[in-house]
Amino acid sequence: MPAPTNRIDARFAALRDAKKKAFVAYVCAGDPTLDATIDIVLGLERAGVDVVELGVPFSDPLADGVVNQMAADRALKAGASTPGVLEMIRKLRTKSQIPLVLFTYLNPIYTYGYECFHHDAAAAGADGVLVLDLPPDEAAQNAELKPAPDLRHIQLIAPTSPADRIASIAKSAEGFVYYVSRLGVTGAQAEIATGIAEQVAVIKAATEVPVCVGFGVSNPEQAAAIASKADGVVVGSAIVKLIEQNGASADCAAKVEAFVKPLVDAVHAL
């Protein structure tokens, strides 16, 4: 069997061979600046993160909680743009080959040009895209929204999704499935959601693509507990909050690395 050429596929294959769980980290590109994002991603890589989701700043991020909304606002005010994010990825690729997923909404992509965005994002060095407000059945009904082969299209599945919809979404999943463990918008939570293992089992019965669980993870114990029930865990708002608190500091990337490493270690120790 030939080795995967996409960085996301290759990373999950290596994790599967090593019998390890994945740690996926989310940050908003451009918060506090695009250059600082490069340093933050390099810090995440040093901490052992397997995949980085880069939020593309957008003025109306409806699926995001206040922490991530504020990050997008800071990034936009600092001058971040979709072309700027792609240029930042080009610069990052001279220093790192960590798998990158662009976490975005349809509006910025459609404004950029759907086909052009996919081509340019792949050329810049992105490996996947997660479009929060583009259901796969909607994309299937619009020729101009057909998935492009250059990027893995990550699909979201919610805890309220019925079995037939889970099967439909999972069938078109690429890279990994992002299972949203609770209803509402993004944000750290005091307790993890219930029923995760059961829902992950339903998803995995419909696809061979790895399943990672997110929404609300903020400490090593939560990260390990969730990762034990899936193929990996996604941590976002807790990292973004730390960046908010330390964005003006010269050692912001180092503080992010120090915060994330115990979470990664807890997941990789499973």
Contacts of 194 (CB under 8 A, 6+ apart): none
Cβ–Cβ contacts within 10 Å for residue 116, how many? 10
Structure token pair of residue 209? 């693509």
d(CA 151, CA 173): 12
Respond yes or no: is residue 150 known to be catalytic: no
From the candidates 39, 50, 53, 120, which is the catalytic residue? 53
From the candidates 9, 31, 39, 64, which is the catalytic residue? 64
d(CA 74, CA 243): 11
Respond yes or no: is residue 208 known to be catalytic: no
Contact 185, 192 (CB under 8 A): no
Structure token pair of residue 217? 């993870």
Active centre residues (catalytic): 53, 64
